[in-house]
Amino acid sequence: MVTKKLDWFNIVNYTFLALFCLITLYPIYFVLIGSFNDGNDYMRGGVFLFTREFSLANYSVVLKDERLYTGLAVSVMRTVIGTVTSVLFTAMVSYAMSRRNLIGRNPYYWIHLFTLFFGGGLIPYFLVLKNLHLINSFWVYIVPTLFSVFNMIIFNSFFREIPEEIHESATVDGQEIF
């Protein structure tokens, strides 16, 4: 059995990491104990490690607010609809870009790559959204994220791994896939 002795580097390293964890986790703990403390008592200050007056009134107020459930519904719809449509549209473009017989493939690829590295800026982006009437609409979360160049590159590398024989076989069977 090999015993490992602690040297000064490990002692300093473990001490630093323990302090870093404490500094990182304490704000979360502070908010948590504040949420379980009575609101009026909490405003007086002095609550640091434990609650002085335990109360669930804060949670009752939050759970009665309809905006919580509206926000939750929007978040779920944004996640589900956004993920499905983004994968669908990005996969369609990626498959087309992975085919060697696509006319104009190289210029399209470089135009896409250019937009990955250089954006138009915040104000032109806002003006485009405004002209598309997406401001103050749920679709402002979906439409701008329909296509991702970075994800296209990842999809593209997958589609290029499909053997050419599968495409030839589909063409012979009358099921041309592009």
pLDDT single digits (tens) 38-69: 888 888 888 788 888 888 988 999 999 999 99
d(CA 29, CA 168) in angstroms, rounded, equals 61
| pLDDT over 60 at 178, yes or no | no
pLDDT digit string, tens, across residues 18-43: 999 999 999 999 999 988 998 888 88
Least confident segment among 2-16, 55-69, 99-113 = 2-16
Which residues are CB-contacts of 97 (< 8 A; sequence separation ≥ 6)? 105, 108, 109, 112, 152, 156
d(CA 121, CA 39) in angstroms, rounded, equals 43
CA distances from 156 to 2, 93, 126, 149 (A): 50, 9, 30, 10
| pLDDT over 80 at 2, yes or no | no
Q: Whole-prediction pTM value?
A: 0.70
Residue 44 confidence (pLDDT): 85
Which residue shows structure tokens 């926000």?
Answer: 71
What are the residue ranges spanned by the domains of the chain?
8-64, 66-162
